[in-house]
Structure 1
Amino acid sequence: MTQYTNTISTFELLERFPTEESARLYFEQKLWNNKPKCPSCANQTPAQVYHHPSRTGLYRCKCCQTQFSIRSNTVMHASKIPLRKWLYGMYLVVTARKGISSYQLAKELGITQKSSWFMGHRIRKACKNNDAILSGIIEMDETYIGGKEKNKHQHKKTQGTQGRSTKTKTPVVGMRSRGGMLVAAKMDKVNSANIQTMIDKHADANATLCTDEATIYKGIEGYKQLMVNHSAGQYVNGIVHTNGIESVWALLKRGYHGVFHHFSDKHIGRYVDEFVFRLNDGNVKRSTLDRIDSIVFGFSGNRLSYKMLVLM
Structure 2
Amino acid sequence: MRQVAGFAPSCLLLVDNNEFALWRINLELSDHFRDVPCRVLVGDVRDRYRMTAIFQQYQPDIVFHAAALKHVPIVEENPCEGILTNVIGTRIVVDAAQAHGTQALVLISSDKAVNPTGVMGATKRCAEIYCQAIDLARRAAPESSAFRCVTVRFGNVLGSTGSVVPLFTRQLRQGGPLTVTHPDVTRFFMTISEAVSLVLQASVRGTEARKRRDETDRRLNKGGIFVLDMGEPVKIQELARQMIKLAGLKPDRDIAIQYTGLRPGEKLYEELFHVGETSHITDMPGLLIATPRVADLGDVCAVLDRLEQLCHDNAQQEAMTFLQKLVPEFVHNPSGDAWVAR
TM over 0.5: no
Q: Which has the higher contact order (CA 8 A, sep 6+)?
A: 1
Larger Rg: 1
TM-score, length-scaled by structure 1: 0.29
**What TM-score does the superposition give when structure 2 sets the normalisation length?**
0.27
